[in-house]
Amino acid sequence: MRNGSGRETTMRNRKSSIFVFVLAAAALYGPAARADPPGPVVETREGPVRGLRAGGIDKFLGIPYAAAPAGDLRWQPPRAHPRWKGVRDATQFANHCPQVASPFGLASTTEDCLFLNVFAPAHGHGAEDEFDEPLPVMVWFHGGALLVGESDDYDPARLVHEGVIVVTVNYRLGALGFLAHPALTAESPDHASGNYGLMDQQAALRWVQDNIRKFRGDPGRVTIFGESAGGLSVHSHLASPLAAGLFHRAIVESGAYALSQPSLSQAEALGTLFANLLGCTDQTAACLRAAPVASVLAAFAATRVASVIPDVDGKVLTQTVGAAFASGQFNRVPVIEGSNHDEWRLFVALNIDLVTGPLAPGQYVGAIAATLGVPLATAGALASFYPLARFPSPDLALSALGTDAIFACNSRKAARLLSPFVPTHAYEFNDENAPQLFLPPVSFPYGSAHASEIQYLFDLRSTVPAPPLAADQRRLSEAMVAYWTNFAKLGTPNWIGTPFWPAYERTADQMQSLVPPQPLVESGFAIDHKCAIWAPAP
């Protein structure tokens, strides 16, 4: 177990691959530069914290933003963390939230996990330091299907060196973060359950509002951004009435795969199944809270939920994300919305190629049915739009279909719903030679698979050195970092030195293609991804 705010060691194993439904992968923080003891001290609402300075960045690691959600606080909204005495050490990452061991994630059974990390330009190093102005803030929500992941997988040095403050956040995952159950609903003053992980993220955003000035941050310029499940979280906060005023811009990377959410009653049905698997046949909240964390994780794994989707609980979410966007009843801030050209290749590799080998032609229609959860007859009809003769292999045909159906056209749909109400910029990341972190070779090239854009913004932690970006890819990385940080500063990705990125409009239907060495405007996205099939206009 960890000591103080130190890192839990007994349950950690180094990642050997990137998870995905969303994911993330990662890299040791900070250059080898020596920290300057004793480190900067900042007074937060709960007490002073001492960080470290290295590589021109002040790092404050493992700061609690809420009380440990354990015991009676399990499956409760996050509560305030008590003040501490003395100066709290903030030089090491803290525990990540409970999740099962897998080849793609790190195991943990520690519920004391609601920590965040602050990375700020050191005085004399930041691009805006000479003006002594408050710096824009970017709050990152990691991916991992809302099942796995942790904040310290991501080193935001490239972003911070452009004159922004980056905050990375741990939040509750899986059953502990998103369980809806009739007993939990009954005890709630709001008659709601589920979405505790989203409430954690909102508590972190309130922490930012209360404290970020002390780190030289501007609470009036907060950008939330995330990839995959982190992007889904960003969509949820755009739609959540409880998040109003907590952020001022939003970036969604591959997060549009669930514009519809289950109702509270549908989520409670899954919760009842989970309780039975946990041995709580009496269906009481007391039994649920008494269960060991390891048992909770095992029971939720037994439900075979591949990716968690927040529910319309009537509190955090009062309607589906898609309905909120369509009606204009969302938190109206500028948005960047995008996806990757070959998203589904990662899932075909992980779930098929690396498990049973490449698909045979005779397995193609069945694989479509399994991917989309549709009858074989429907899958056969859909296969006619992606005939095997047009693809080098059945794996690549299935990858194209999955990319279009689940990610690409939903991302475009989100941009089309948002753009009448708020400034919206849409993109497609499309580097066909993007390095594939941690995954072994398969029978097809990964291309710009799910999560492959992250390494163009962050350094990712791993025991295996990440493949270096080639010269053209470094130029693309520089452009993407500039776009993201321009947006945080100005509310638009455009500024001197970057290729112009037009705002998304339904009639022009243009997106920025993030290709090396230099991004360019594209107009053929809907045709390329067959969006007339998967997400007809608006």
Q: What beta strand segments (E) does 332-435 contain?
A: 335-340, 424-429
Q: Which of 343, 428, 453, 522 is catalytic?
A: 343
At a CB cut-off of 8 Å and minimum separation 6, what does 20 contact? 104, 143, 144, 145, 228, 346, 347, 350, 450, 451
Q: Which of 108, 151, 193, 228 is catalytic?
A: 228
Question: Is 523 in the active site?
Answer: no
The closest alpha carbon to 464, from 13, 8, 14, 10, belongs to 14
Taken in order 104, 107, 111, 114, is the CA torsion positive or negative? negative
Residue with tokens 């989100």: 414
Instruction: Tell me how far apart the alpha carbons of residues 427 and 9 are, in angstroms, rounded to a whole number.
Output: 39
Rounded Cα gap, residues 511 and 57, in angstroms: 34
Report the C-alpha gap between 47 and 44 in whole angstroms.
5
Please give the C-alpha separations between residue 254 and each of 55, 228, 369, 380, 464, in angstroms, as whole numbers.
31, 5, 22, 27, 25
Among the listed residues 60, 29, 213, the one whose alpha carbon sits nearest the alpha carbon of residue 137: 213
d(CA 193, CA 362): 44
Catalytic residue among 450, 453, 477, 513: 450
Is 529 among the residues known to form the active site? no
DSSP 88-102: EE-SS--PPPPB--B
Taking CA 237 as the corner, what is the angle to CA 417 and CA 420, rounded to the nearest 5 degrees? Answer: 20
Spatial separation of the C-alpha atoms in residues 338 and 425, rounded to whole Å? 8
Nearest partner of 434 among 460, 413, 409, 397, judged by Cα = 460
Distances from the Cα of 98 to the Cα of 108, 148, 201, 427, angstroms? 5, 8, 16, 33
Identify the H or E element spanning 121: strand 115-121
Question: What is the residue-wise DSSP string for 150-166?
Answer: -GGGEE-HHHHTTT-EE
Helix (H, G, I), strand (E, B) or coil at 432: coil
Query: Can you spell out the DSSP letters for 22-76?
Result: S---B---S-SPPP-TT--EEEETTEEEE-EEETTEEEEEEEE-S----GGGTTS
| Active site (annotated) includes residue 228 | yes
87-120 burial: b if 16+ Cβ within 10 Å, else e? ebbbbebbbbbbbbeeebbbbbbbbbbbbbbbbb
Beta strands in 370-455 (DSSP E): 424-429
**Amino acid at site 233:** S
How far is the C-alpha of 390 from the C-alpha of 333, rounded, in Å? 41
Residue 227, strand partner residues: 253
User: Strands 115-121 and 165-169, how do they pair?
Assistant: antiparallel
Write out the catalytic residue numbers: 228, 343, 450
